[in-house]
Structure 1
Amino acid sequence: MRMPVGQPPQAVRPTCPRVRFSGRTVKLRFLRNISIQSTRSVVQATGMARVQQNFNSAGVGLFFRLFGGGQSLALPHLAVPDIRFVDWNKLRAAGFRGLVFDKDNTLSRPFALEVEPRLRGALVHCLAAFEGRAVLYSNSAGLKQYDPDGAEARQLEAALGIPVLRHEDKKPGGGCTELEAHFGCPASDLIMVGDRYLTDVAFGNRHGMLTIHVQPLTSQGEPFGVLLARRVEEFWVARWTTAGVDPPSHVRATYTSLQDFIKEPSKGSHPPTVAAATSGTTAVAAAMPPDPASEN
């Protein structure tokens, strides 16, 4: 019997009228139906969680507060196409001690459980430069509201090979107690890397990290709410940059020459975005000499 596409197989009742069903057969069929219904409930719950995840109350609240001042929180210290264009060795030499990565559209395509193939070499290189001191800080996996038992976090850790930090609040909300405890250093020694201005960049800037904005890897697979929010963010960040707003000052970086943190692109690659017309922000960056007090 051919079953409808997309539906689980159902038990087929024999057409012979003389066939009798025993109590055991009825019990097994009942348990099987319960199992199918439970599976559907889990799938529906996961889908609902993703729908709810599209709304970020902390991000929306921050966006409206920025109109009253503090627009610099949404502006990154560095803006590059992707992680291949960052000189991770120089960042490590400047005294930074850990990397905090967003996942979707930063290291992988939305909801994918693998690193984007063209970024694998760069990720290996930056992890080597920081001796593996990196975590994923996601608004889904590891967030106790949506991943209370850490199942999705464990799945990501197994797939990507990078620890997923368990935390209480969505970016840009919440503190960074978990991050500082994980790395054993102040947040100012950490680097936040992500593709969203009002979540990743704003979160990092709020806590004094160096922030790096990367262009999203793809728009395919992104929820409509995320696409819309991204357009709004880019529009206002471009306007604030044009108006002369700078990122927050950083204890290990000045506005004079952060270009040292950007690598020359390889042949055939697009150059890093330095102008606001391309990236929505100016890539300002300058490495200060390593702080002897921070070298333990």
Structure 2
Amino acid sequence: MGQSLNWAGILNTFRVLANPSLVMPQLIVKDIREIPFQQLKSKGIKVMAFDKDNCLTAPYETHIHPPFEEAWQRCKDTFGADHIIIVSNSAGTPDDKNGEKAKKAEQELGVHVLRHETKKPSGGDTLMLHVQEPGSHIAMVGDRLLTDIVYGNLNGNLTIWTKQVITEKGDNRPAVLIRRWEHQLMKILTHLDVQPYPHPFFTANDKKN
């Protein structure tokens, strides 16, 4: 299953040009194994929202990337499966015929996959309506700056960028090229000392812990 053109992502690129902090995550990790789940929960995060492709699974797969199994279980043990949700731009979207990929991912990952009509970075109201929590109580984790991180920042989430992708094999070509550009963009914005949005549960000191 591929993805249709993400017009929301394209249009929101202009918002990023005007406000580059939108693409800056509060926390950068190599992959989900470095996420301090217990620390996040102790600080007030109640819901963990994850992108799927190249964050938890290989592109368009529905099972957890094997090296992440222990970290994924640790996340579920910490928050409970009912407080973890997948927000994908493939599974659970109109690209997912009859929701088959979403259903399979739910069976294999053991958590709910959000059904949403509008792709990230738009549509954050659907997530908050589903989890019944304010945006600041949600952590959004993903590998894409212009979709996952902008989505989280627009909704007041704690944003966590997983900078190392699982694999480019099987991914669609536009996503591969845009992701590579995003990594260059992050280097530029970091050099320019562009800061992420402040979050009430997370400070610069937490990045050092």
TM range (shorter): over 0.9
Q: Render the CA deviation track for 1:110-151: whole Å, top value 9, x for unaligned.
A: 1122111100010000111112210111111111x2236322
Higher relative contact order (CA 8 A, sep 6+): 2
Q: Could you say which residue in structure 2 is the equivalent of 1:209?
A: 157
Q: Could you say which residue in structure 1 is the equivalent of 2:174?
A: 225
Distance in 2 between the 1:235 and 1:57 partners? Answer: 22
Q: Could you say which residue in structure 2 is the equivalent of 1:138?
A: 88
Pick aligned residue for 1:59 from 9, 24, 41: 9
Q: Map of 1:86-235 to 2, 5 A cutoff?
A: 86-132=35-81, 133-143=83-93, 145-147=94-96, 149-174=98-123, 176-214=124-162, 215-235=164-184
Indicate if the aligned counterparts of 1:110 and 1:222 stay in contact, CA closer than 8 A. yes
Which runs of 5 or more residues in structure 2 are unaligned? none
Relative distance call for 1:148 and 1:186 in structure 2 (3 A) is farther
Q: Render the CA deviation track for 1:12-50: whole Å, top value 9, x for unaligned.
A: xxxxxxxxxxxxxxxxxxxxxxxxxxxxxxxxxx6xxx2
User: TM-score, normalized by length of structure 2?
Assistant: 0.93
Matched, 1:243 2:185: no
Distance in 2 between the 1:190 and 1:115 partners? Answer: 21
Which runs of 5 or more residues in structure 1 are unaligned? 1-45, 261-296
Q: CA deviation at 1:177?
A: 2.6
Indicate if the aligned counterparts of 1:179 and 1:187 stay in contact, CA closer than 8 A. no
Bigger-Rg structure (1/2): 1
Q: Render the CA deviation track for 1:152-180: whole Å, top value 9, x for unaligned.
A: 21121112211101112100012x23322
Q: Map of 1:262-281 to 2, 5 A cutoff?
A: none
Deviating beyond 3 angstroms after TM superposition, the runs of 4 or more aligned structure 1 residues are none
> What is the total number of aligned residue pairs between the two structures?
207
User: TM-score, normalized by length of structure 1?
Assistant: 0.67
Q: Secondary structure at the match of 1:257?
A: helix
Q: Render the CA deviation track for 1:225-262: whole Å, top value 9, x for unaligned.
A: 111111211112211111010111112122233322xx
